[in-house]
Structure 1
Amino acid sequence: MRWLRHTDDAAADALEGLSDGSMVAIGGCCDGAVVPERSLRALAGITATRLRLLCPAVALDVPAVQEVVLNGSIELITRACHEPSADTYCWTRTGKRVQSEWLTYEEMTEGLTAGTSDLHDFYSSGELHTHIRRPLPAEGRRERLMFGGESFVRKAALRPDVTLLRAAATDSAGNLRLLPGDADVFRLSAAMATAAIRTVVECETPPVRRLAGHEVDVPGQHVAIVLTGSSP
């Protein structure tokens, strides 16, 4: 794990190596009002293209997230909604249309939990209705199973290449206490952090020596980089 100063240059360094087609998750949004702004500014300035974005639907109302979409690097948005919704579109500055598909919070968290377990795909009830959950063809893997009279559909696990997260507190071991707020957003943020290949966390307060066990929402083993006001 690396500790970096909470600066724009450090945020850009934290995203170094992000490649075309990467999956980026935005968590810790605290009902959409608070986001990892420095990391998002860095994301808006990268040269990688065809990125796939996972985020709570409320995050799309935040200017820092809108700037990332306007920049034109996002190819597909998958937003988490409390209730079944409908696919919509966003637009880049150049007038390019970006599809915004939806999953319920439960569906997105389910896919991320499978990603945390290092699965490529899994079976669950409910039909496929998004590109992001469409699995790659796999020899010997059936697309649908029947069990107890119920149908289970094969779906792709979600494993973000990077998760950008805002935390309320962190300690010297990198353990995180997430921002309080909506329970669905809270669970989704924790799943995004644990499933990602690289989790980048912003926390404006200095790290404490150690968070109590009941305060830890994301163990430090899942955290790659912390952007903070001071190192431990």
Structure 2
Amino acid sequence: MIDKLRASVADALADVPRRGAVIAVGGFGDCGAPLGLVEALCDLDVRDVHVVSNNCGIGERGLARLLIEERIARFTGSFPAHARFGEQYRSGRIHLDLVPQGTLAERLRAAGAGLPAFYTPASAGTDLGEGAFPAAYGPDGEVAEYCARKETREFDGRTYVLEHALHPDVALVRAHRADRMGNLVFRLTARNFNPLCAMAARITIAEVENVVPIGALPPDEVHLPGIFVDHMVEALSEIGLPE
């Protein structure tokens, strides 16, 4: 038997680089977010992170804490609406790769499916597509770098842009149920970006609310097979903070 349940959050995160990792984080707001694992990154003093996620946290916990403590060097996502993000972005302390939400999901899915790139109409003809959106500012508040201009192609008279798959080093996800082999079940909308992040990453670490015996999960109910999961830790509180 391959047992992927670890004794502590530190054991589960042992393979995460302490500097410069590209980390995909599941969740939509706090819904389905692996708050315990992300909080643990701060406790382990992980820094210079390139975060790939839909948004950059809410309030002061999870990704928001990572942001507030200025541990994020680069953010790839759709809704970096946290007030502290705007402050850091415009003062040159964080690099932004703004990605339409559906494109973000597909870039992760493409990585998991072994596809290098794909065409989409999203962002065609916009500042993002034309390379005119500010990706980074300098300390003086002036634009230091614009996003890259996207390659385009016409299909049936419509313009599409080329988007590349996202390959994170690590994915942090939260699941409702799991067996010890890492087969995961997500609850309702908490599934969101979690399976996509897990399939795209080189290493996947899951924070799990309920661990059940092997064989207790009907195969048709498994949302993410254990082959995509490397380590698991039990979530021991309402907001997912492991002891």
TM-score bin (small chain):
0.7 to 0.9
Deviations 1:126-153 (A, max 9, x none): 236276xx78x9xxxx922212112221
1:74 maps to what in 2? 72
2:54 maps to what in 1? 56
Inter-CA distance 32–102: structure 2 relative to 1 (3 Å threshold): farther
Inter-CA distance 200–90: structure 2 relative to 1 (3 Å threshold): farther
TM score, norm. by length of structure 1 = 0.74
2:11 maps to what in 1? 10
Please report how far the alpha carbon of residue 18 of structure 1 lies from its aligned counterpart in structure 2 after TM superposition. 5.2
2:35 maps to what in 1? 37
2:101 maps to what in 1? 105
Residue segments in structure 2 that go unaligned for 5+ positions in a row: 136-146, 236-243
1:111-150, aligned counterparts within 5 Å?
111-127=107-123, 129=128, 143-150=151-158
1:214 maps to what in 2? 220
Q: State whether residues 74 and 95 of structure 2, in contact with CA within 8 Å, keep that contact through their aligned partners in structure 1.
A: yes
Query: Residue type matched to 1:171 in 2?
Result: D
Deviations 1:23-52 (A, max 9, x none): 21111x365155323321232245554322
Query: Residue type matched to 1:227 in 2?
Result: V
CA RMSD of aligned residues (A): 3.3
Select between 70-79 and 110-119 the one with higher mean Cα deviation: 70-79
Q: Distance in 2 between matches of 1:34 and 1:117?
A: 22
Q: Distance in 2 between matches of 1:34 and 1:143?
A: 34
Query: Residue type matched to 1:3 in 2?
Result: L
Please report how far the alpha carbon of residue 171 of structure 1 lies from its aligned counterpart in structure 2 after TM superposition. 1.6
Please report how far the alpha carbon of residue 119 of structure 1 lies from its aligned counterpart in structure 2 after TM superposition. 3.3
Inter-CA distance 53–119: structure 2 relative to 1 (3 Å threshold): same
What SS is found at the alignment partner of 1:13?
Answer: coil
TM score, norm. by length of structure 2 = 0.71
Percent identical = 21
Matched, 1:227 2:233: yes
Q: State whether residues 60 and 68 of structure 2, in contact with CA within 8 Å, keep that contact through their aligned partners in structure 1.
A: no
Q: State whether residues 159 and 196 of structure 1, in contact with CA within 8 Å, keep that contact through their aligned partners in structure 2.
A: yes
- Across the two proteins, how many residue pairs are aligned to each other? 209
Query: Residue type matched to 1:150 in 2?
Result: R
Please report how far the alpha carbon of residue 220 of structure 1 lies from its aligned counterpart in structure 2 after TM superposition. 0.8
Matched, 1:197 2:202: yes
Select between 30-39 and 215-224 the one with higher mean Cα deviation: 30-39
Residue segments in structure 1 that go unaligned for 5+ positions in a row: none
Select between 58-67 and 107-116 the one with higher mean Cα deviation: 58-67
